[in-house]
Amino acid sequence: MWLLNLKQKQMKSFITMIISALITNFAFAQSQNVDSIKIYKLALDADIKSVIPLVESYDLQNLNDTCKAFVLQYKNIFVSDQDNSDYLKNHDSKINTLLYIYHNYWRKSLLLNQSFDSLIMNNVYDFLKKDYPNVTNNEDSLNVYLSKYISGKGYYSTGFSRVGKLYDLLVWETEKDTVYHIKNKILDSKVRVVFMTDFVCLGWEDYATFGKYYPGGWAEKDKLFCVIDSYDKTSEKFRVSYLAHEGQHFSDYKHFSDLTSYELEYRAKLVELSLSDERLFHLIEFFINNSNKESKDGHCKANYSVISNLSKRLFDIDFEGNITKWKQVEKKKINKTAYKLLQENTRLLKKTSEKCKK
């Protein structure tokens, strides 16, 4: 009965999140007061420190109700001395103490835009050693015993791992395996895909954006993982931005094992732009809005490189940030140019790999 109530609560929370995001997007489209694009960009780059002056600059009396609620969320969580939101209450589960540790680490890291890796490692180590005296304070050991602890509570997890700048924690209750044949002009491979549902926690990106953004999936060396409630399996978003994107990671893990997060994301994003049609300009606009050449986050930095390298080929400038100009270019021309950049990168990686072998 408890599990049934938990699932009902999570489903209700998920539906509420989707409706809220749709309403918020509509309100932002009508309002010129709140720069939600910039705020979300900073949040996804783990830089809430730069968000604070923005939200504090808004006069709440001049905002509509939805924009006001958005600004107040950031103020209640990050401007106050403590998180005054109901985040932990809404994520009530059998791992409350552990989630509290991560919550404090995320908030401090986001607020100060600094690395507190030693803090989370020490706190997770202290937490685990009570039940697992053999645990040691290093990533591999923490990953093994954290995964063991969470699975002992009846959940699956990402273990002790990182997303972007921060150590992250995704925890879910249900998963289902299937196999997909990814076949397009770039990939032709059968891959195991794990569909995950009934999430307890969707990580620091979810926390920093109030459920607007979170990892939709990821690749490991032997399988892909998918937050399936984020996708319509018949959509281009699923076929291209999930299967083809993560499938490229899956392929690169086999052929280029030493690639950085930035290099992996650069290649996978080019795959998306090589194959997209109906979502092509949506993707380009997202990459423009969430690009940062100097970021330590692989996604943000890759967004910049993709747009910059395409801009040089299509517009003969370093970075075209006006989406209207992109929409004047034929989609197939963008597809072909992205594909050509991917092929050039592949040849460079193969050449480098061959030199290393000699």
pLDDT in tens, 237-253: 999 999 999 999 999 99
pLDDT digits (tens, 9 = 90+) for 167-218: 999 999 999 999 999 999 999 999 999 999 999 999 999 999 999 999 999 9
Instruction: Please report the beta strands in 123-187, taking only residues with DSSP state E, as ranges in sequence order.
Output: 156-157, 161-163, 166-168, 170-183
- Contact 279/240 with Cβ under 8 angstroms? yes
Which pLDDT band, with edges at 50, 70 and 90, does 80 fall under?
Answer: confident
Higher pLDDT, 122 or 80: 122
Query: What pLDDT score was predicted for residue 233?
Result: 96
Please determine, for residue 12, whether its predicted confidence score (pLDDT) is greater than 80: no
pLDDT digits (tens, 9 = 90+) for 258-292: 999 999 999 999 999 999 999 999 999 999 999 99
Instruction: Give the distance, in angstroms, between the CA of residue 27 and the centroid of all CA atoms in the same chain.
Output: 24
CA distance 187 to 232: 21
Mean pLDDT over 65-74 rounds to 93
Q: What is the mean pLDDT of the chain?
A: 91
Please determine, for residue 35, whether its predicted confidence score (pLDDT) is greater than 60: yes
Which pLDDT band, with edges at 50, 70 and 90, does 356 fall under?
Answer: low
Q: How far apart are the first and last CA of the chain?
A: 62
Helix (H/G/I), strand (E/B), else coil: 162: strand
pLDDT digits (tens, 9 = 90+) for 83-126: 999 999 999 999 999 999 999 999 999 999 999 999 999 999 99
- Contact 312/338 with Cβ under 8 angstroms? no
Largest CA distance in the chain: 67
Mean pLDDT over 319-347 rounds to 98
The label of the residue with tokens 């893990």 reads 253
Please determine, for residue 143, whether its predicted confidence score (pLDDT) is greater than 90: yes
- Contact 199/11 with Cβ under 8 angstroms? no
Query: Angle at which helices 96-112 and 48-57 pack, to 10 degrees?
Result: 70
Query: What pLDDT score was predicted for residue 357?
Result: 64
Please determine, for residue 20, whether its predicted confidence score (pLDDT) is greater than 90: no
Query: What pLDDT score was predicted for residue 352?
Result: 82
Q: Amino acid letter at 99?
A: L
Cβ burial of 178 (10 Å; 0-12, 13-18, 19+) is exposed
The percent of residues in the chain predicted with pLDDT above 70, rounded, is 89
Query: What pLDDT score was predicted for residue 31?
Result: 42
Mean pLDDT over 326-347 rounds to 98
Q: Angle at Cα 355 formed by Cα 354 and Cα 356, nearest 5°?
A: 90
- Contact 169/158 with Cβ under 8 angstroms? yes
Mean pLDDT over 30-48 rounds to 85
Please determine, for residue 6, whether its predicted confidence score (pLDDT) is greater than 50: no
Please determine, for residue 328, whether its predicted confidence score (pLDDT) is greater than 70: yes
The model's pTM: 0.86
Which pLDDT band, with edges at 50, 70 and 90, does 353 fall under?
Answer: confident
Mean pLDDT over 67-75 rounds to 94
pLDDT digits (tens, 9 = 90+) for 120-136: 999 999 999 999 999 99
Query: What pLDDT score was predicted for residue 257?
Result: 87
Local structure of residue 238 (DSSP, 8 states)? I
Query: What pLDDT score was predicted for residue 87?
Result: 92
